[in-house]
A and B are shown apart, each in its own frame.
Chain A
Amino acid sequence: MIETLNKAFCALPGVGNKTAQRFVYHLLERNREGGFELAKALVDAMEHVKHCSSCRTLSEKNICNICANDVRDNSQLCIVETPTDIHAIEQSGVYKGKYFVLSGYLSPIDGIGAAELGLDELEQKLKDQNVEEVILATNATVEGEVTAHYISNMVKQFDIKITRIAHGIPIGGELEYADINTIAHALSGRKSYN
């Protein structure tokens, strides 16, 4: 039983055998109650969390809280690679529109194409709903850029504004510590200043 639990903890990212062992002994020796809670929460989540049928993020309901929120702006749709990206954007508090989660990026060599990213669903969504702006918030990697390019080509058939989130020097960051790719990106994406 101890061994099984040990192995189970190794499923967590960054957790090796040593760390798993620490977790196991901590729960068994010092915090059984916490252990029961963890077990229950895990079973609940594994059984009931699915993907939102509208935006594909993780959700315990058929339609997630953000999609179900009528106060949020339906005319803006922000495309992200993962549910954690939604979390990051939500924490900033500046975005009031809706989301669509790709769960990855286009990777032809790995056989990940439009269908795997739910792009036909996205296309249908754009047909059915009154989206006025699609915000491409895929990562600033080559793969994220390819994905953004592909989606923007698809969106072009509709009368929808397409924007891409800006990439550049981190706030509070100093130029001399930024890598050259970031500086190049920041320069080519510069804005007029007044």
Chain B
Amino acid sequence: MTKVDLTPAFLIHRRAFKDTSLLLDFLTLDHGKIRLVGRGLRNSKTQIQVFQHLKISYSGKGDLKGLNNWEADDTPRQLKGDSLILGMYVNELISRLLHEQDPHFELFEIYKNFIESLATIDTLSSRWLLRLFEHNLLQELGYGVNLSEDIVGEKIDLTAKYEYQHQDGFVRSVTGKILGKSINQLLIDDIDNMPDTQQLKVCRDLNRMRLKPLLGDKPLQSRSLFFSK
């Protein structure tokens, strides 16, 4: 019998379960991604929502444990428009890439910061915020890449161009698309130190390339739904 009291969590996804219940996926601070049954929650007046910092209590035996109690530990947050879409995309990433009950303390904080920032920044900065999140997520999952040196061990030159070689790292190349400066900006991980629009796209493609083998043949639904046009 497991019993957890008021652990910090974010709801990542919810779906209907039987008549009146919900099947809930959470990202928790202490236990990573977990799936719980919220009995009778479907018709509850105050609905449990994604993008809110929550405290949840749950217990149970075996695979499917039950949510006993939840409370919001947050100010109300309404993500709108573009921010909402980016939030959904990140939730799909979490849902797809994390294994259940595999704790990622760092990632919880990274996700929390991401959601909090998302509600307040402009569209262009939100793209950079997303790139930093993807990078940190990959790092947390053990798919980090050396952002300080290229594959032959030379320090990344801010003025040089690079190409990414899968799982090995960056190779200096005159025809490369990635600027050394952008690689360095990923390393610095600062929302205010952002590449220009064109290099932002390069960073997007870089992250796509890095995520692809992890996602396998099944493309991200939210990507085709929201970013195709």
* Other-chain contact of B13, A109, A146, A188 (Cβ < 8 Å): A109
What is the size, in residues, of chain B's interface with A at 8 Å between Cβ atoms? 30
The contact string, 1 if C-beta is below 8 Å from chain A, for chain B 76-109, is 1011110011001101100100000000000000
Contact between chains at A108 and B19 (CB < 8 Å): no
Q: Is B125 an interface residue (CB 8 A)?
A: no
Interface hub of A108, A111, A146, A184 (most chain B Cβ within 10 A)? A108
Bound CA–CA A96/B58 (angstroms): 47
**Contact status B225-A184, CB under 8 Å:** no
List the one stretch of B47-55, B166-174, B178-186 in contact with chain A.
B47-55
Q: For the complex, what is the distance from the CA of A113 to the CA of B84, rounded to whole Å? A: 16
Whether A107 contacts B20 in the complex (CB less than 8 A), given A146-B84, A184-B76, A184-B78, comes out as: no
Q: Assuming A14-B20, A107-B15, A180-B76, is B95 touching A113 (CB within 8 A)?
A: no
Contact with A along B19-56 (1 / 0, CB 8 A): 11000000000000000000000000111011100000
Count the A residues whose beta carbon is within 8 Å of the partner chain — how many? 23
Whole-angstrom distance between the Cβ of A93 and the nearest chain B Cβ: 25
Interface membership of B224, Cβ < 8 A: yes
Q: Is B221 an interface residue (CB 8 A)?
A: yes
Alpha-carbon distance between A141 and B46 when the two chains are bound, in angstroms: 11
- Kindly identify which residue among A111, A142, A183 contacts B84, using a CB–CB cutoff of 8 Å: A142
Flag whether B220 is at the interface (Cβ < 8 A): yes
Does residue B206 face the partner (Cβ distance < 8 Å to A)? no
| Chain A interface main SS type | helix
In the complex the two chains form, what is the Cα distance from A113 to B45 in whole Å? 27
User: Which residues of the partner chain B approach A172 to less than 8 Å between Cβ atoms?
Assistant: none
Q: Is the CB of B76 within 8 A of A109?
A: no
B29 → chain A closest CB, angstroms: 21
CA distance A13 to B20 in the complex (A): 8
Chain B min CB distance to A185 (Å): 7
Task: Verify B221–A142 contact, CB threshold 8 A.
Answer: no
Shortest B74–chain A CB gap in Å is 9
A149-194 with Cβ < 8 A to chain B: 149-150, 179-181, 183-185, 188
Interface residues of B (CB under 8 A from A): 13, 15, 19-20, 45-47, 49-51, 72, 75-76, 78-81, 84-85, 88-89, 91-92, 95, 220-222, 224-226
Q: Which residues of A contact B (CB under 8 A)?
A: 13-14, 106-111, 113-114, 141-142, 145-146, 149-150, 179-181, 183-185, 188
Beyond A111-B221, A142-B79, 14 additional contacts (C-beta under 8 Å) are A13-B20, A108-B88, A109-B91, A109-B221, A113-B225, A114-B225, A142-B84, A145-B78, A145-B79, A145-B80, A145-B84, A179-B45, A179-B46, A180-B76
Q: List 11 A-B contacts (CB under 8 A).
A: A14-B19, A14-B20, A108-B225, A109-B91, A110-B15, A141-B47, A142-B49, A179-B45, A180-B72, A184-B76, A185-B78
